[in-house]
Each structure stands twice: as structure tokens, then as C-alpha cells.
Amino acid sequence: MSTILPTSTDCHRRGDIKETFARCRAEGRIALVAYLTVGYPTLAATPELVEALVEGGCDLVELGVPFSDPLADGATIQRASQRALANGGNLALTLEVAASLRQKVEVPLLLMGYCNPFYRYGLTRLAASAAEAGVQGLIVPDLPPEEADDLLAALAPYGIDNIAMAAPTSGPARIETICRRASGFVYCVALTGVTGARQALAPDLGPFLARVRRQTQLPLAVGFGLSRPEQIAAVAQLADGAVVGSAIIDLIDSLPAGERAAGLRRYAASLRAATYRPVIASP
């Protein structure tokens, strides 16, 4: 079923992250989060492709802000970011795309970007602009939690969530600090390294998520390396959400321009079908 909505004057209230995870939990499944670099493959194509992902069943969308040095991202998203920059993509245009999408989709919209463009834009201005565009959360991979006070102060008046990231290499004290600064959900990095589709999940993913779970009641979403329905199904037994990014870029690359939206819609639907948790029969 499509979640595209008619234009609404109350668009800023759509896409509550907490409510989205609660709804998915009530439906017996995890949330499916999609990532797409804004401006890739073109600025004009981005909204249609995001809408296709939502129509296919994605529950939240990360809008990647093009940046010249996306250090947490692997070759696929680095290439997409360079292409988006060449197409004129930047933070201001990302906010414009978010505002346009907010008129059409009700899922939570998140900005995923790096410190340099955010701080250059100005955190107070960024928070106000993001709220005006209908953005519900920010993900800033290169911002240490100990240095996040200014961002948190800027976001708080607008109710925008800081989606903090935890890595498998994080110790208990570090995880506690990360979780204390997080809201919305905690983005749990599934592997040591950068983004990019992988063949299998890391064998220590379960124990890592258990360590994070001990520190927070927030939903846990797993990202980095997910690409196939069977991986989503495995994550559904461990976490509250799954993030897919590089595989979406790879699929766009493999399809003719006229087939991309339909291809993404089918791909998202295949992943969505794998988000349901197994039903355990009562004895």
C-alpha cells in the first residue's frame, strides 16, 4: 500500500520516529530504513526514487547530504556523493528536497551528513531549516558524542532527534555515553569498517547489540553491509530496524533511467517482506 499523501498544511508533524518504531513493533516486524544520496543520480530524479522506496515499504528514509570526504562511507556511496556534488548537490538543496518530499510522504525523513557542511551552515540555522523542511532526525557519523552538546542544544527546541551511532569496537563506557546523547533510535554499525554491501552479517552482531541494549530503551537499528532479504530477516531476530544504503545505489547503477523507480519499488518490497519476526507458537 502506498504511503504517499496529498499536500497538507500540517506536514511538519508527520513522520514521528518513536511512533514509527512503535507501529512496526505492533505489526510484528522491524522498521526498514532506506538511504539515498540527494542529487544522485540527478537532483531531479531523487524525489521520485525516494517515493518509490516508500511505496515499496520503507518506513524511514535517510537523505544523504553530498560531501567531498564521507569518511564512514565505502566506495559506492563515495562515488554517489561525488556525482551528486558534480550535479550541484549541497546541504541547502538537500533541505529543499526534504521539504518537497514532506509534501508527498509521511515517513520520517533523516539527514545523514558530516560535521563540515553542518557547522558551516550553522547549527542553529540548520535546526530551524530542518524543522521547516519536515526533517525528524540527524545522523552525523563524524561527531563524537562528547562534542555533541551544541548540536543537541540546537535541535532540542524543534524536537529533532540526534541519531547517534555505536560501533562494535565501542566499550561499555563509550556505549553509555553514546546512548545518553541519542534520541529516536541508536544506529548500530554492523561491522568494523565503512559502508558497502556484504555477503554475511558479522558473527558478533548479536553480542554487540546486547551490549547496546543494556544501556538504552531506544530502538536499535542495524546498518552497514545489509543488502539481501535474508540479512534483513536475520536482523529482525536481533534488533528493531535495518538500514540499507549502498545496495540501493548499486541497484540504481544497474538499471536504465526509465526503470529505476520500478526497480527500487520491487527491491524495497522484497526487503519489507523479510522484516517480519518469526511467530513462535505457544506450547
Helix pair 205-213, 172-181: axis angle to 10 deg = 60
Catalytic residue among 73, 106, 161, 240: 73
CB 67, CB 140: distance < 8 Å: no
271/71 Cα distance (integer angstroms): 27
Tell how far CA 206 is from the center of its chain: 21
Rounded to the nearest 5°, which phi and psi values hold at 203? -65, -20
Of the candidates 133, 145, 123, the one whose C-alpha atom is nearest the C-alpha of residue 63 is: 133
Gyration radius of the chain's alpha carbons: 17
Catalytic residue among 55, 59, 62, 161: 62
Alpha helices in 57-203 (DSSP H): 75-86, 91-102, 115-121, 123-133, 149-155, 172-181
Indicate the DSSP class of residue 278. Answer: P
Of the candidates 180, 36, 29, the one whose C-alpha atom is nearest the C-alpha of residue 110 is: 36
Q: Is 10 labeled as catalytic in the residue annotation?
A: no
Q: Which residues, other chains included, contact 33 with Cβ-Cβ below 8 Å and sequence gap of 6+?
A: 58, 59, 60, 61, 62, 221, 223, 241, 242, 243, 244
Of the candidates 241, 251, 199, the one whose C-alpha atom is nearest the C-alpha of residue 80 is: 251
Q: Is 62 labeled as catalytic in the residue annotation?
A: yes
Indicate the DSSP class of residue 280. Answer: P
Catalytic residues: 62, 73
